[in-house]
Structure 1
Amino acid sequence: MPAIVGVAQVISVGSSSIFNIGDVYKMMPISNAKTFSGAGSFNTGDGMNVYNHLSTTNTYDSDNIDQGIWLNA
């Protein structure tokens, strides 16, 4: 169903974002990322105490092949 849209001010749009006004059938933002994280990296909360005395993160990728995003349609 069509809509009447008033004024829209866009300050910025991210590199893998979509900005659309109006009718749309399919929207597919595409991006990929590789995240390395060590012990206690994604802990969230108020007043956390995380003790990781000897912690290392192995970031060596011997094959350099990851899952592709070209078939995500």
Structure 2
Amino acid sequence: MPAIVGAVQVISIGSSSVFNIGDIYKVMPLSNAKTFSGAGSFNTGDGLDVVNYNSTTNTYDNDSVDQGNYFNA
């Protein structure tokens, strides 16, 4: 069934983002990334109380290749 979409305003979109409105068969991003972050890094909201006394982030990655997006053209 076709989608009916009204007015849409896009303020900004990242260079590796995917933006879709309506019916779609497949979404295939063309980039990937790995993010390392410490405890409590992505917390959002009002009145947060994050306690991290001795926190470290292990960024050692002994494999040479992670899951990629080889077949996305």
TM-score range, shorter chain: 0.5 to 0.7
| Count, aligned residues | 59
Q: Which runs of 4+ in 1 moved over 6 A?
A: none
Normalising by structure 2, what TM-score?
0.59
**TM-score, normalising length from structure 1?**
0.59
The structure-2 alpha-carbon separation of the partners of 1:53 and 1:25, relative to structure 1 and needing over 3 Å to count, comes to: closer
**RMSD in angstroms over aligned alpha carbons?**
2.8
Matches within 5 A, 1:1-73: 14-17=14-17, 28-72=28-72
Point out where structure 2 has 5 or more consecutive residues left out of the alignment.
Answer: 1-11
Relative contact order, higher structure (CA 8 A, sep 6+):
2
Larger Rg: 1
Give percent identity, aligned residues only.
72
